[in-house]
Amino acid sequence: MSNSLPDFPLQDERLARLALHLVAGVGPKVGKALIVALGSARAVWEATREELLEIEGVGPSLVQRLAKAKTSADLAREWALLQKHDATFHTIIDPDYPEPLAAFEDAPMVLYEKGGRIGADWDAVAIVGSRGATPYGMRMTKRIAQGLAEAGFTVVSGLARGIDACAHQAALDAGGRTIGVLGNGLSRVYPPEHVKLAEAVCDQGALLAEADMGCAPQAGLFPARNRIISGISRAVVVIEAALKSGTLHTATHAAEQGIPVLAVPGPADSPLCEGTHNLIRHGAHLCTSAADVVALLGEPGRASIPKSKGVPQSPTDPLEILVWKALESGPLLADELVRITGLSVGQLAMVNLGLEMRGVIRRLPGNRYTIPD
């Protein structure tokens, strides 16, 4: 990446996309709509107010922000931060943008990177779990992450406390590669005690983020971060997740993306394992070692790209049958499913996750569910 910003950066398609990403209110879907409607990011910056207002989802306030951004110093500041922190960025038109992510409807407009991914990182497995992990959870994480690294898989996680940090460190200790996906900008590390771990990850892999370089950690960014964790991985292993754990977001994204989910069983009376046990109950693969992952995916470098799912199995669990029958009449909102089935929001989420993982139902935009044709 050049050290100097061009005199007319908005005439460069990559920089035009980066500038668009920095505008408040332009997320992946709005950004995609703007670019599709006008043909390029450069065209977005050249469009008139009237042309912009004709695009679905674009209102006067966004048009005003776009006009203001043309003369702001945001892009120059972002460029300076990229240089200062030895980071780079990828847009969806770049050859080094992760191919699996590019296919998603809400693919990140921009993906920031520090360190360096390599071709072998396609063979990646995510390991996610509780921040308040127990000694058992840490022990299982170390065992599985070390085994995966030794087998040649890249270990992906979120650099958080607990299971995430243990997974990264175990991969590093085994001499393997690891990728951390952050819920904040690459100019800072969160939690702060993981600064040295982040540096080590960059040495043997990479740090990735969707948030702009200076973005502070925000609770709302972590669910979006989770779709990247699963999206760059060939499988997701869940270790210690409570019923309402944020970790289950990653499993949900994986199910939507058609990526296998594995769950590590734990003590039957542990609240931290209720979520993982429910995943297994609803179709996740049981995992007790790295060998279970290798058996599912094949060895790195010699495994073929996972094929599409076969014919979905009909539901047999009574709660799954309730949801299935409710959807036979057509797509329904999650709230409508709660009302019709009598399930709690938490129960419905777990049942739907199991059905999605097996391809029995499909989630549509707007939190609606349907039975695939």
Rg over CA atoms, the chain: 21
Domain extent listing, the chain: 1-79, 114-297, 318-370
Whether the per-residue pLDDT at 364 is higher than 80: the answer is no
Task: Indicate the pTM of the whole model.
Answer: 0.81
Domain 1-79 has CATH 1.10.150.20: yes
Higher pLDDT, 210 or 371: 210
Long-range contacts of 70-79 (CB under 8 A, 24+ apart): 70/10, 70/45, 74/19, 74/22, 75/5, 75/9, 75/15, 75/18, 75/19, 75/22, 76/5, 77/214, 78/18, 78/22, 78/212, 78/213, 78/214, 79/5
How buried is residue 60: exposed, middle or buried, by Cβ count under 10 Å (0-12/13-18/19+)? exposed
Helices in the chain by DSSP H: which ranges?
13-21, 28-38, 41-46, 49-53, 60-69, 74-84, 99-102, 135-151, 163-173, 195-203, 221-231, 247-257, 274-281, 290-297, 318-327, 334-341, 345-357
Q: How far apart are CA 142 and CA 153, in angstroms?
A: 14
Has residue 302 got a pLDDT over 60?
no
Give the pLDDT band of residue 253 (cuts 50, 70, 90).
Answer: confident
Taking 80 as the threshold, does the pLDDT of residue 208 lie above it? Answer: yes
Distance of alpha carbon 156 from alpha carbon 178, whole angstroms? 6
Which residue did the predictor score with more confidence, 114 or 1? Answer: 114
CB within 8 Å of 64: residues ≥ 6 apart = none
Return the CATH architecture of domain 114-297. 3-Layer(aba) Sandwich (3.40)
pLDDT score at 307: 38
Q: Domain 318-370: give its CATH code.
A: 1.10.10.10
Q: What is the mean pLDDT of the chain?
A: 89
CA–CA dist 205, 172 (Å, integer): 9
Across 3-12, 48-57, 294-303, 343-352, the highest mean pLDDT is recorded for 48-57
Q: What is the pLDDT of residue 1?
A: 63
- Token code pair at residue 240: 């210690």
Who's near 81: CB < 8 A, 6+ residues apart?
87, 185, 187, 213, 214
**What is the pLDDT, as a whole number, of residue 2?**
62
Classify residue 65 as exposed, middle or buried by CB count within 10 Å of its CB (0-12, 13-18, 19+): middle
Q: Which residues of 8-39 are buried (b: 16+ CB within 10 A; e: fewer)?
A: ebbeebbbbbbbbbbbeebebebbbebbebbe
